[in-house]
Amino acid sequence: MQNMLRAYKASIFQALAHPTRIAILEVLREGEVSAGTIQERLGVEQANVSQHLSILRSRQIVTSRKEGNQVFYSLRHKVLIKVLELMRQYFQAHLNESVQMLGEIEGERQGR
């Protein structure tokens, strides 16, 4: 059972492992949006957006509903926004550590 849960978690991270899909989630942070609006905001080809939305839908990260000839998307759970925010904090901390280390290296060079 534990391995199945780990595989499920990995599949979610795999679905999030593309910059366009992260950008889509950032657009959906504001609420339900049409596929056309997502395309416009990201400046990405319609086929490309559709492919990424399909992956997010298959992993049940986003939900969709059809109204006339438009499809509207929304986040299945808002907790994903918190996950993305935590990851941003993680990356920022890592970046801050790297900048500090580079500063120390530069200080050592100047000290020679």
pLDDT in tens, the chain (112 residues): 899 999 999 999 999 999 999 999 999 998 999 999 999 999 999 999 999 999 999 999 999 999 999 999 999 999 999 999 999 999 898 888 888 888 888 877 776 6
CA distance 51 to 38: 13
Could you please state the CATH topology (level 3) that the domain comprising 1-76 is classified under.
Arc Repressor Mutant, subunit A (1.10.10)
CA distance 112 to 93: 29
In this prediction, residue 98 carries a pLDDT of 84
Q: How many CB atoms lie within 10 A of CB 32?
A: 14
Domain boundaries, the chain: 1-76, 78-112
pTM: 0.81
In this prediction, residue 102 carries a pLDDT of 80
Residue whose structure tokens are 């399909």 = 54
In this prediction, residue 112 carries a pLDDT of 62
Residue 27 and residue 42 in contact, taking contact as beta carbons nearer than 8 Å: yes
CA distance 111 to 2: 53
In this prediction, residue 24 carries a pLDDT of 97
In this prediction, residue 16 carries a pLDDT of 93
